[in-house]
Amino acid sequence: MPQIEVERRGAVLRLAINRPEKKNALTGAMYHALADAFEQAESDSAVRVILLHGAGEAFTAGNDLEDFLRLPWKDEAMPPPARFIRTVACAGKPVIAAVHGLAVGVGTTILLHCDLVYAADNARFMMPFINLGIVPEAASTVLLPLFIGRQRAMELFLLGAPLTAQRAYEIGLVNAVLAPDALLPAAVAAAQQLAEKPYGAVLACKRLVKRTLEQEVERALREEFDVIVERLASPETKEALSAFLEKRKPDFSRF
Query: Exposure string (b/e) for 76-89, b if CB count within 10 Å is 16 or more?
Result: eeebbbbbbbbbbb
Q: How far apart are CA 148 and CA 218, in angstroms?
A: 20
Q: How far apart are CA 109 and CA 121, in angstroms?
A: 19
pTM score over 0.85: yes
Cα separations in angstroms, 251 against 132, 134, 233, 241: 12, 15, 17, 11
**Quick one: pLDDT at residue 68?**
82
Cα separations in angstroms, 213 against 65, 209, 250: 31, 8, 37
Nearest to 10 by CA among 43, 49, 64, 39: 49
**Quick one: pLDDT at residue 255?**
87
Give per-residue pLDDT as tens, 33-76.
999 999 999 999 999 999 999 999 999 999 998 888 777 776 77
Give mean pLDDT, residues 95-105.
98
What is the residue extent of each domain of the chain? Answer: 1-179+199-255
**Quick one: pLDDT at residue 254?**
87
**Quick one: pLDDT at residue 74?**
66
**CATH code for the part of the protein at 1-179+199-255:** 3.90.226.10
Give per-residue pLDDT as tens, 169-207.
999 999 999 999 999 999 999 999 999 999 999 999 999
Q: How far apart are CA 195 and CA 120, in angstroms?
A: 23
Confidence check: pLDDT of 120 > 80? yes
SS (H, E, C) 104-169: ECHHHHHHHHCCEEEEECCCEEECCCHHHCCCCCCCHHHHHHHHHCHHHHHHHHHHCCCEEHHHHH
User: Coil, strand or helix: which one is 39?
Assistant: helix
